[in-house]
Amino acid sequence: MQLLDGKKLSKKIELEITKEVKELKDTCGCTPGLAVVLVGQDPASAAYVNMKKKACDRVGFYSITHDMPETISQEAIEKTIEMMNDNPNVDGILIQLPLPSQIDTTKILELVAPEKDVDGFHPYNVGRLTTGLDGFVPCTPLGVMKLLKEYDIDVKGKNCVVVGASNIVGKPMAALLLNADATVEICHIFTDDLKKHTLAADIVLVGVGVINLIKEDMLKDDVIIIDIGINRAENGKLVGDVDFANVSQKCSYITPVPGGVGPMTIAMLLKNTLKAAKINAKERQL
């Protein structure tokens, strides 16, 4: 069994980005900028946003966080997004999800300018992904593809079972795998007999937030496991959706939690923001 080391790869990517940021500053005086909207007090969301901000600092990006109270109105968030859309110093906009129940999340995500949509959640970018066109791709599935590539794992023709059908992870993950010529199945909460599906898989990619959902008896020998879950165990430790101790005896490759997909998500947010900044810099020069 070999670990797919996302921590190591994300550091390598950050170094490359840092170099490119310096070049961009030297050639056009531009500093890539990321604006984040954080609503409410959810500790997990606050921790994620803090990690994203720290990563921006490490590579030399400008970043700003709009901290908003849980009781904020739809109009106030929309006004902030319009301001960020119009601000030339902001290359990327990220709305940390979930938003409170009084907020229409779809409307908010549709208001983000598609060329600043570094999370890839705008229907324009979702459409481009599903049609195989260039655009902004959601960071977690994009990070998984980069990690597979780093370890020379080609998904072409492989049976890939994605467990979880969210807009953030499962659906874009399936689209990326399909675009890379994999055979893709999506399983979800209503799937009958999950084991029947996972047993046939060459690669299992799971992100549903259920501790120990994937056990060794659900898998064939030498399977490749991508664990996208992040859960807090009773002992306070971070764990994924896979029974790591037992599954790691059976698989050929596996991502650890923490240190697998998580750091790759942040590295891809940086990559997407740099991509947006480069496009903006080019447009300003025209």
Rounded to a whole number of angstroms, the minimum distance from the CB of residue 45 to ligand GUN is 7
Tell me: does residue 230 bind ligand GUN (CB under 6 A).
Answer: no
> Is residue 87 packed enough to be buried (19+ CB in 10 Å), middle (13-18) or exposed (0-12)?
middle
Choosing from 91, 96, 202, 241, the catalytic residue is: 96
Tell me: does residue 77 bind ligand GUN (CB under 6 A).
Answer: no
| Binding residue (CB under 6 A) for ligand GUN from 63, 96, 198, 280 | 96
CB of 223 closer than 8 Å to CB of 204? yes
Q: Is 181 among the catalytic positions?
A: no
Site for ligand GUN in 167-196 (CB under 6 A): 168
Instruction: Give the contact letters, 255-284, x = binds to ligand GUN (CB under 6 A), - = no.
Output: ----------x-------------------
Q: Is 74 among the catalytic positions?
A: no
Rounded to a whole number of angstroms, the minimum distance from the CB of residue 52 to ligand GUN is 9
Q: Is 119 among the catalytic positions?
A: yes
Tell me: does residue 239 bind ligand GUN (CB under 6 A).
Answer: no
- By C-beta, is 96 or 125 nearer to ligand GUN? 96
- By C-beta, is 121 or 253 nearer to ligand GUN? 121
The site that binds ligand GUN (CB under 6 A) totals a number of residues, namely 9
| Binding residue (CB under 6 A) for ligand GUN from 3, 28, 76, 97 | 97
Tell me: does residue 95 bind ligand GUN (CB under 6 A).
Answer: yes
Site for ligand GUN in 105-124 (CB under 6 A): 119
Tell me: does residue 94 bind ligand GUN (CB under 6 A).
Answer: yes
Catalytic residue positions, numbered: 52, 96, 119
Residues making contact with ligand GUN (CB under 6 A):
94-97, 119, 139-140, 168, 265
